[in-house]
Structure 1
Amino acid sequence: MTSTAASCLLFLTMKSFEEAELCFPELLNSSCRKAMRPHSVSILTYILLTSISLITVTLNLLVIISISHFKQLHTPTNLLLLSLAVSDFFVGFLVFFQIVLIEGCWLLGDLMCILYYVLDYIITSASVGTMVLISVDRYVAICDPLHYPNKVTQKRVKICVCLSWICSAFLQTLLLKDNLEQPGRYNSCFGECVFVINYVVGLADLFLSFIGPVTVIIVLYMRVFVVAVSHARAMRSHTAAFSIKCSVSVTAKKSELKAARTLGVVVVVFLVCICPYFCVALTGQDTLLNASTAAFVINLFYFNSCLNPVIYAFFYPWFRKSIRLIVTLKILQPGSCGTNMR
């Protein structure tokens, strides 16, 4: 009797331990298993991702409110920053969803799984498109300053931003069409969140969403850098002879050079953060990465959205001033939208 009782106790203990490892303990034969890791590591990851999510959402919300509210900030360049802030704002919520996947279990259902990936792809694609527009904006401002006010208007920028988001939504929805029609069709067990795309389509998306845009960004900013350096040298020179040689058409305002430098930092940080993610996808080595490396690459990709407002705070006095006005609630005063932000 003692031996039988001990065997039953051992069986129940093993059964409980086995169930504790399952995403859905009630589905013994079809549930995915949880990723077993130390409790302290899970807690630290929860705190880190929650902090990144909250900071990203808060900072980008400040950027959105600042540019939307203050009329003096309604410039073509700032409209592009507004588009970038909107995409970064949504990334903050996507980071929050990463918390759900810490234990390797997706508990929100198949439909939410595919919607998560669709939203992720749309935001990523729109961010890259906005970076291309920022590069074009700086290229025209530095290399063709005389025609910049006529070529780059608020109306044209709004149209370009809207087209960027619409094209991103259309392309990514088309890309994940099969997954949207039948959510969870590629899951091997309950609690898994995966999607599959055609190799050719995926390769085309990689070119349209990464290789092509990044090539355009690098080429344009290399040109901007060369011209900006020559303009900086021209402005440092006060000799009459040099002033005569420099035509007005290649003279850029100091503010435009500063904007080019600031946005150049934004672009470089963006490339540093997203390149590891896309390079892994490009080489097809994602299956060879361990969990820690994969998590680092993904979180570095998301962390870029938290860095952009920090860069603005360092380089843009108007952003620091707007934060003070928002935090002190002076933004609620009548006529605050006309505040001088310079």
Structure 2
Amino acid sequence: MPRPLRVAAAQVGRVDRSEPRASVLARLITLLEEADKQAVKLVVFPETTFTTFFPRYLITDDVELNSFFENEDAVTGIVDAPNVKPFFDKAAQLGIDVVVGYAEKTPDGVPYNTASYVSGRRVVSKYRKVHLPGAFEPFNDHPDTTNQLEKRYFKPGDLGFQAFRAPSLRHEVKSPIIGMLICNDRRWAEGWRCYGLQGAEIMCIGYNTVAWAPELWGADPNMDRDFARQDALFHHKLVCQAHAYTNAMFCITAARCGWDDGKFELITGSMVVDPEGHIIAENKTDGDELVVADIDLDACLQGKARTFAFEKHRRPEHYGVIVERAGVVEPPEVI
């Protein structure tokens, strides 16, 4: 029996460092209203949706730094955070489930790069980014350098990879099983497999991925910028399509993209990928855009029951090295 669902990636274009939260919220609400007109039931928004991607800057002013974080309510979570409450009120009014990324400051002051799945003003599940890229110190102090300081501003996520049901999207007697990753997490197979082993059917990924960051990549600073952009986009699509296929799940990716402050470029790549790894819908612009797709969750069954029937074919007794070490240990030379 088909299990139809209309989903969307909400791509968000340029957001400058100084853009007010209210201006960003107005844009996000417009995307929600467009989703409502198209009868979309689930919308995935980007990483740090409500602000520019501030970890590119070395920010020494605590007042400015704190302004990029959302202070969650200890009981209700992000939905009652004062700066962003109108967004969640609108989503609830329209009956749309959302996955949205933001910089979280816990009630006891711990900072995380976070995404929450919200349905009807209820936080169904929360994910905190595990694989923080970059470094604690800036690469250099040149104003045009794209630094990556997530390790400075965030703690590694502490919630693991916990799949969950989305009851408001129930079809007949079965609710979709959802997973969430954030940006760099999508490059790491371990998180995908953890979700795959819980039967996840939809992976939701928001991201801010730079198009030009030779210091971060360890690349030639004189490399061609068009090549760098296309290479970053290629690798984004590569990992999402490959891991959606190897775990037999749909994947919805939402980009924060465009030229922030007119000089820091982020790639696009907002798309919906099916369980066979095919892109079935993708962005057409580098601005605010809703990428809509009709999916059938039963399309996951072929991969889960045959090609990647884990219970039939996996051999976990041989996979111990994956959890026994973090770094590479090379085999000895043969003498």
TM class by smaller structure? under 0.3
**Larger helix share, 1 or 2:** 1
The TM-score normalised by the length of structure 1 is: 0.26
**Larger strand share, 1 or 2:** 2
**Which protein shows a greater Rg?**
1
